[in-house]
Structure 1
Amino acid sequence: MNRAAWRERYLAKNALSPTRKRIERLADLISAPVLETNIWCVEAGSGKHLTRADRSTAVFEMLLEQIRPAVVVAHGSKAISLLGQMRTGSQVIAVPHLSGLGSPKGFGWNDERLQQLVARVNGAVS
């Protein structure tokens, strides 16, 4: 994937959200190749806007089966729940949603917490 071209197209349509900023930072700091994906393959601002058919996780499950990543960072309750039900063979690192929504009281994503997550991922892939 040409990440630079994708980012250019993304920025032509969207401002960088807090979630996207954190994903970009993580992808830049993780020492292994990174695949960014959602559990659903339909674009939506929020999962609540998806129909039942749109909520299929078949593509996501196929990606995990074919790629067999050493580590999966699952952020948010839906991704964490799905990965908890799957046998991926991957180390799953479950964290609060990168948007900050639904995070435990007093938790906030900051540079220190992102660095801690990067260290966990890099430690698992090295």
Structure 2
Amino acid sequence: MSPNLTLTSLPVGVLVILGVLALAELALDVFALVDLVRRPRERVALGNKWVWVAIIVLINLIGAILYLTIGRRPATPVEQVPSAPGTVSNRSVADALYGDPADEGGSGKGGTGEPGTGGSR
């Protein structure tokens, strides 16, 4: 085996595998860079996005993996504020649209197709 291999001397299956791996690496780099651009600076480890750009671009696959695993800080949890007394709940809206499921007669606005029941004719 000669030390100077060319791409034309490799079997087609190996070329396909190398192509798929190259596309996967490129997709991961693009994903990491897009995520970095969209993420606020406060949610990036080290607080400097340019350091992460250099790591992702110069270290290729490992740089993108490093950013995605340790470079992103999770969002701070937002406290859920209890709904105000005058607000409408999802359940009451659903009941108004489709009828109360506790109704035994099915007097809601669901459609049976019969005239006078609100269904389609």
Report which structure shows greater RCO (CA 8 Å, sep ≥6): 1
Superposition TM-score, scaled by structure 1 size: 0.24
Q: Which has the higher strand share?
A: 1
Superposition TM-score, scaled by structure 2 size: 0.24
Larger radius of gyration: 2
